[in-house]
Structure 1
Amino acid sequence: MKKIALTLAALALAAGAHAQIGANSTQPHAYGLLSLGQSRLNVSCDGSLACDKSATGGKAMLGYSFGNGFALEGGYANFGKFRASSGPLSVSGKPEAVVLGGAYTAELTPDWALTGRLGAAYVRTKLHADAGVLSGSDRESKTQPIVGLALNYALTPSTRVELGIDATRAEYQGERTNLRMVSLGARMAF
């Protein structure tokens, strides 16, 4: 976790020194977004002795801003690892997604902006179960809608700190569950 935080800080400093294009500039530009945060799986754990519906997740996105507030984004989101157990039976799930969508950033002030996101996520849910000496794994992938909202603040003309929330769904054998991630990261124009 410390290595990821240091990497984010180094990228933010490097981008600030490298790029002179503002993250909300009226000039078309590319940008990257790296963030880490808390994920939550909305699932019932009735009958489990132990159930962990929270995990550490993160995302890495690349985007292209057309200079009028609209942007096209794509990237990867990992929602972490969720666990439940009851006696000798334990189950873990790892949802992750490849994301493609659009974004619109509205400047609230010269330093503050609000970004809304809407797109499609190809969500792969990996499950692993252990029952004593027996174990097994399976996975299922489905395309799901993904929405997001983020508030960001300009540290430099090219680097912004972003606090956001993203929501999508994971599905396994017809059972859908909502996924939500609140994250903090750095958005760097280049």
Structure 2
Amino acid sequence: MSAFVLRPARSADIPAITEIYEHAVLHGTASFELTPPRETEMAARFDTLAGQGYPYIVACDTDGTVIAYAYAGPFRTRPAYRWSVEDSIYLAPAAQGRGIGTALLERLVELCEEAGFRQMIAVIGGSEHKASIRLHEKLGFRLIGVFEGSGFKFGRWLDTVLMQKSLGDGKASLPNEGAYPGTIA
């Protein structure tokens, strides 16, 4: 495994994040977007998530080059879902197979637990996306369902795989209703 560093993402990382995501959109099924968003859109997405207290992190090579990123965002927007997050992880092709995805997801889980979230949902594009499924299984996610043929990309139907991991106490205790998860007191 080669050396890399994890750190919070910042606005200056948006060009690299945009490039990594563009490759994922154009060549993979991790995202069901068909047209890569421009840098301004990626910046707006980053600002929205970071501004709401959701964790957003990057992995950098030892020279500081951003080679992967991960973030948590709202699973659904209705208020009763506020204790649940959806994880997203994207790696540059050169970053794959180096343990970076595992490190990013482990850190993302830690940050979400610290922020008070109770459930993390993985929405994986394609049943054949075995690397992502194995990564989530390795970190304690369990399969909760498959939406068969729910997406159409690259001239074929794709499943959506749903996996879930309890964070902290999960559903074993009531949340602190006075605190909104993700916000820093």
More helix by share: 2
Q: TM-score, normalised by structure 1?
A: 0.27
Task: State the structure with bigger RCO (CA 8 A, min sep 6), 1 or 2.
Answer: 1
Give the structure with higher Rg (CA).
1
More strand by share: 1
